[in-house]
Structures are given as C-alpha cells and as structure tokens.
Structure 1
Amino acid sequence: MNTKDFDFELDESFIAQHPEDKRSESKLMVLNRKDNTIEHKKFYNIIDYLNPGDVLVVNDSKVIPARLFGHRPDREEELEVFLLNNTEGKKWECLVKPGRKMKLGTKVIFSDKLSGTVVDITEEGHRIFDMEYEGIFNEILEEVGKMPLPPYITERLEDSSKYQTVYAKYDGSVAAPTAGLHFTEELLEKIKEKGVKVAHVTLHVGLGTFKPVSDDKIEDHKMHSEYYILNKENADIINQAKRSGHKVIAVGTTSIRTLESIAKKLGHLEADSGFTEIFIYPGFKFEVVDSLITNFHLPKSTLIMLISALYDREKILNAYEVAKENHYRFFSFGDAMFIN
C-alpha cells in the first residue's frame, strides 16, 4: 500500500492555532458508515449518538511539561532539551537542540533545582540525561518545564490546562490525546446520566505520533513505541458492553491502539500493561472498537491510515475535502470527527 495514497493538500490556514473557548462547542463531523452519509454538528451533540449501555473509552494520560531550557555551567546560551521517556531511575531519553553543544559528558543546568548530564547518545542521536535533583521530579518539572506543543502550533498558549483533557490523571505523555480535549466535565456527566459507561485506559503519547510516514510503502514504516495500561475494572466494563451487544466507542486513536494491542496480543481483552508498536492501516481487523471519536489528522500520518482502516480510505479523504469546504479546523486544537 502506497503512502502517497494517504496524502492530501492542506493550507496552513486550516491548522488550528488555539483551542475553542468552550471545548464542547467545536464542530463535529459525523460519518455514518451504514448509509455513507455526512452530518455537521457541534461536539456537544455527540450525546445524541450514544445509547444506554454503550461504553466510551478515554485515555487518561496527562501531558508533562517536557520542554526544558538551560545552559552549560558558566555559559550564557539557551539549550533546549525535550524529554521523550524515562528510561530508568533518573535517566531520560531526550531530543536536544543544538546537538553540537551537548556532547557526551556535557552538563546542562535548567534551574537551581534541576540539572542533567549527557551519559549516552542513541543511534538516532537522542541524548540520555542523568538528571540531578532533590525531591519529586514531576513537581520540579511543573515549575521548570514548558508545555510541549506540536511543531505546527506556532502561537503561544496562555493557559496550559487547555492542552490537557479534563480527565487527565497519570503523568507521562509528551503530546495530548487530543480527541478528548473536546469533552467538558458537564458533558461527561450528562453522558453518564444517559446510562453510557465511561472506561479509562492509559497510553502515554510519544512524539512519534507526529512523525509522517516517509517510506514509499506503508508496510515498511517502523512504528514508535508507547506504554499502555488497562486495569481489570475498566477491562470488565468494556467486556460487559461487548457481551451485551452494546458499542465500544474509543475516544482518540490512542484508546484504539491500547484496546486493539491487547486483543491482538492476548486474543481477547483483559487487564494488561506494556509497550505497543501496533500499526493499524486498511486491512486491519478490529476486535474491540466499534466507533471512534477523533480529530482531523496530518497527511501521510499513521493516524489517517488508522481511521481509513476503520472506515474506507476514499471516503475518509472525501470527508477531509468536505471538512475543508465547510471550514473545519484541523489537528490538535481543531474540530472533531465521529466515525459511527
């Protein structure tokens, strides 16, 4: 399958640079797979498509302020260190800029509470930092770090809470599971009052989620690895819905990746944790998820390939053209799509 088959033109003016003032008032495009129709709604209308007994699966990973700025001892400069993942203990794999100034053994001071030394360099050129601090790392990070907005968002975000879902709980993501940004606590409460269950998974979103597929054939693309957790209580909620003939609606591609990874690994859904490199593209057989709430994704990304697997590539690309005609906003702070 050719990567170019998932390409489309998108003017920068379609890329949302800031979130809606009211989360649930973004646009919602509803794709009905049964009769191949497209409806245009507001996101708060999502409740009309959910039925008692259905289960909404959300990713409760929380974005950490992963961008650090520092300097070498006795130097006036600005070095950028972007935390990717905690490899062990106080060691972190990081992207750095400029790399020529951060050789093996280089110490970088981020604040009077946090510094780090480059102790290894990976094949990709990432630096492994051994961090030095006293106390709780995440609390220090909240003081020192900056929110890691995607590269296509160039405007300053005044309120960092706008890049967190209202149900974010567990620190670990370096990018938000953005489909969930449309939910308010009030809307979720109304959904629960209707008799819809809400189940939680945790998948810590990595920077690889923004990486376009560069190989000509999508089968040659190597997926990034992300850590997930599903506990027994939430696995039971999802399995009960499946047994009862109700729908499992994933909020975001990260929720799909978690559920389908476990089903593929174990042959069924149960409590599990680990790393997934699952790559979902047309031809994939979904075992758990029936419907998806998602955003509008980048051309040639693994995410547009995933949603094309759930519906149909040509119909998805057509829907994207319809979205442009109707002035939908794209990417992380953009509008939503419901594939039903």
Structure 2
Amino acid sequence: MKTSDFNYYLPEELIAQVPIVDRDNSKLMVIDKKSGEIEHKIFKNIIDYLDKGDCLVLNDTRVIPARLIGEKIDSGGKIEFLLLKRNEDDTWETLVKPGKRAKIGTQFSFGQEKLLAEVKDILEDGSRIVKFKYNGIFEEILDELGNMPLPPYITEKLEDKDRYQTVYSKHNGSAAAPTAGLHFTDELLNDIKKKGIEIAFVTLHVGLGTFRPVKVDDIENHKMHSEYYTVTKEAADKINYAKENGKKVICVGTTSCRTIESASDENGKLVEKKGWTDIFIYPGYKFKIVDNLITNFHLPESTLIMLVSALSDKEKILHAYEEAVKNRYRFFSFGDAMYLK
C-alpha cells in the first residue's frame, strides 16, 4: 500500500488557525464506517450516538510548554529547543534549531540562566540528548519560560495556553495535544455520565512523531516513534466490562485508540500495563478492542489518516474528506471533528 494512496486536496484556508470560542460547538461529521453514509451535526450532538453502558476512552495527558528560546553561552547565538521525551536518567531528547550550533558539549542558557542546558549526544535522526541544570522544580521553570509547542501548520499566536489542553488533562508529558479531546467541555462530559456512559481515562504522552511525514513510498516500511503510555486497572476493568456486555468502546482520538490496542492481549482483553508503544495501525489491521472513534481531520499521507482508514475503508474515508472540504469543515488540531460509528 502506497503513502500516496492517502493523499487528498486541502485548500490552505481550511486549516484552522485558532480554536473556536465554544469547544463543543464545532462541526461533527458522523460516518457509518461500514456503509460510508454521512451526517452533518454539531459536536455536542455526539451524546445522541452514545448508549447507556458504552465506554468512552479519553487520553488524559497534559501538554508541557516544551518550546524554549535561548542562547548559546559562549557566543550569544539564538537557539530554539523543542523537548520531545524525558529519559529515565533525567536527560531529554530534544529537537534543536539551528542544529549546527548544538554540538556535543555545547552549553545554552534560557531565561537569563534560570535554566542551563548541555548537549550530551546526537542521535541518528539529528535530535539531541540534553541535560538541564536548574535550581527549584523543573516543571515550574518550564511553565515560566516555555511556550506551547503548536504544530508547524498553525501560524497564529495562541492567546490562552489552556485552549491547547483538554479540560480533563492531568498527567504532564506531551509535546502535542490529543486534539480530538479538545471538543469536550465539563458540561458535556457530565451529561454523558448522567446518561450512564462509562468514562475510562488512559494516558499516552504524545510525541512530535505525530506531525512527522511518512517519508517512504510503501507504508509498511514506515517506523513509528515510540511513546509512553499507561493503562490502569480501573480503566482496563471499565473497558473490558463494556466489551463483555456487548456495549461499544469509543476512543476519543487516535492516541487513546493506539494505547488500548497496545495494551490488549491476544484474546482481546485489556490489561493493566505501562510502557512504550510504536504500534502502527493502517488498513488490514484487525482491531482487538476499539469499536468506534471520535477524531479530527488529519494531514494528507499521515499515519493518522491511515489509522482512521483501518477502522473503516480508505475510499470511504477519502470520500468523507472530500465532503468535508466541500462543506468547509475546519481541519487539523483546532478544526472540526469526525465520528466513525
């Protein structure tokens, strides 16, 4: 299967640059994953498609302000760090621009030396392993000095940092938001609970691999970046109970989908688990747990549109994207939503 099979035409003006005022008032395209039939709704209508006993799976990761602007200590040359992944030895895997300024041993300063960094290693893909020095609590310093790592296709400044967080975000660690969850409000989640729908929280810290293009012609040769996830016993029990009772398991976003597919055993049972996953879901994949999916509209030729196609059918999904363009849906992180039922 070719990467080019997942291309589609998108006018640039349909890439959402800012979030809409009311999170749950975005458009919602509802697609029957078998027939391809399409309905046009508003996101808050999602509750009409959820039944008592169903289980909604949410990724409660929280985006860290991972973009740091600083300078090289010896020359004062400007540098930009993007923190990707915290390693067990308290070093960070980091994207650095311009890379030529970040040789092994080079030191940098951020916030007038509130935060110091030294490059310890250079990886094959060009990212740097960096060790930070600071006084106090790293997360608090990062919150003060860092900026939200918005995707490269968003060029407008984000006025409110919290609009790039879900209302249920809890565990710090992501370099990007699980954007399907941005549509939910506390009120909508309360209404969903009142209807008797279970909510299970899992955690997957989203890496920037989310935005990296597939550079191979044959998708089977693509290698996913690994991301850290956690599935608690409570979440596993809720999801398994729904499956055992013939109810739907609905994932909010590709990240929660990849999490529970990674943590399920060969019998299709979810287990309490934590670790790293580089699962790549594309057409032909047999889903073990996920029934339905709430997601956004994704970049052409991305691993995300491949995952969505795996749950339905490539032709049906590409037709839905054509309809979304025709109906002026907003695309990508701050855009509108799709429900595969």
Please give the alpha-carbon distance, in whole angstroms, between the structure 2 residues aligned to 1:88 and 1:132.
16
* Code of the aligned partner of 1:163: Y
1:289 Cα deviation from its structure 2 partner: 0.6
Secondary structure of the corresponding residue to residue 317 of structure 1: helix
1:303 Cα deviation from its structure 2 partner: 0.5
Query: Which deviates more, 109-118 or 166-175?
Result: 109-118
Please give the alpha-carbon distance, in whole angstroms, between the structure 2 residues aligned to 1:167 and 1:321.
32
Matching residue of 2:151: 150
Listed as ranges, the gaps of 5+ residues in structure 2 are: none
Matching residue of 1:242: 243
User: What is the aligned-residue RMSD (CA, Å)?
Assistant: 1.2
Secondary structure of the corresponding residue to residue 263 of structure 1: coil
* Code of the aligned partner of 2:84: L
Please give the alpha-carbon distance, in whole angstroms, between the structure 2 residues aligned to 1:289 and 1:122.
35
Matching residue of 1:8: 8
Secondary structure of the corresponding residue to residue 10 of structure 2: coil
Segments of 4+ in structure 1 off by > 6 A? none
> Could you report, residue by residue, the CA deviation over 1:94-152 in whole angstroms, capped at 9, with x for unpaired residues?
00011111111111001232111111111111111110012221111100110000000
Please give the alpha-carbon distance, in whole angstroms, between the structure 1 residues aligned to 2:91 and 2:65.
17
Identify if the C-alpha distance between structure 1 residues 123 and 34 changes in structure 2 by more than 3 Å, giving closer, same or farther. Answer: closer
1:77 Cα deviation from its structure 2 partner: 3.2
Identify if the C-alpha distance between structure 1 residues 264 and 301 changes in structure 2 by more than 3 Å, giving closer, same or farther. Answer: farther
Q: Give the structure-2-normalised TM-score.
A: 0.97
1:10 Cα deviation from its structure 2 partner: 1.1
> Could you report, residue by residue, the CA deviation over 1:264-318 in whole angstroms, capped at 9, with x for unpaired residues?
5785311001111111011110110100000000000000000000000000000
Please give the alpha-carbon distance, in whole angstroms, between the structure 2 residues aligned to 1:339 and 1:238.
18
Please give the alpha-carbon distance, in whole angstroms, between the structure 2 residues aligned to 1:264 and 1:324.
39
Matching residue of 1:27: 27
Matched-pair identity in %: 61
Identify if the C-alpha distance between structure 1 residues 151 and 264 changes in structure 2 by more than 3 Å, giving closer, same or farther. Answer: farther
Q: Is the 8 A contact 1:253 1:294 kept in 2?
A: yes
Task: Give the alignment of 1:60-75 within 5 angstroms.
Answer: 60-73=60-73, 75=75
Task: Give the alignment of 1:318-333 within 5 angstroms.
Answer: 318-333=319-334
Q: Is the 8 A contact 1:82 1:96 kept in 2?
A: yes
Please give the alpha-carbon distance, in whole angstroms, between the structure 2 residues aligned to 1:35 and 1:83.
42
Q: Is the 8 A contact 1:90 1:132 kept in 2?
A: no
Please give the alpha-carbon distance, in whole angstroms, between the structure 1 residues aligned to 2:324 and 2:254.
19
1:262 Cα deviation from its structure 2 partner: 1.3
1:32 Cα deviation from its structure 2 partner: 1.6
Please give the alpha-carbon distance, in whole angstroms, between the structure 1 residues aligned to 2:34 and 2:220.
29
Please give the alpha-carbon distance, in whole angstroms, between the structure 2 residues aligned to 1:192 and 1:74.
57
Identify if the C-alpha distance between structure 1 residues 3 and 264 changes in structure 2 by more than 3 Å, giving closer, same or farther. Answer: farther
Query: Which deviates more, 264-273 or 38-47?
Result: 264-273
Matching residue of 1:295: 296
* Code of the aligned partner of 1:138: E
Secondary structure of the corresponding residue to residue 236 of structure 1: helix
Listed as ranges, the gaps of 5+ residues in structure 1 are: none
Please give the alpha-carbon distance, in whole angstroms, between the structure 2 residues aligned to 1:270 and 1:262.
6
Matching residue of 1:94: 94
Please give the alpha-carbon distance, in whole angstroms, between the structure 1 residues aligned to 2:103 and 2:74.
17
Matching residue of 2:50: 50
* Code of the aligned partner of 2:102: M
In the alignment, structure 1 residue 206 sits paired with structure 2 residue 207? yes
Matching residue of 2:217: 216
Q: Give the structure-1-normalised TM-score.
A: 0.98
Please give the alpha-carbon distance, in whole angstroms, between the structure 1 residues aligned to 2:243 and 2:87.
36
Matching residue of 1:181: 182
Query: Which deviates more, 120-129 or 258-267?
Result: 258-267
Tell me the number of residue pairs that the alignment of Structure 1 and Structure 2 aligns. Answer: 340
Q: Is the 8 A contact 2:58 2:251 kept in 1?
A: yes
> Could you report, residue by residue, the CA deviation over 1:151-174 in whole angstroms, capped at 9, with x for unpaired residues?
000111010100000000000000
* Code of the aligned partner of 1:56: L
Please give the alpha-carbon distance, in whole angstroms, between the structure 1 residues aligned to 2:196 and 2:291.
18
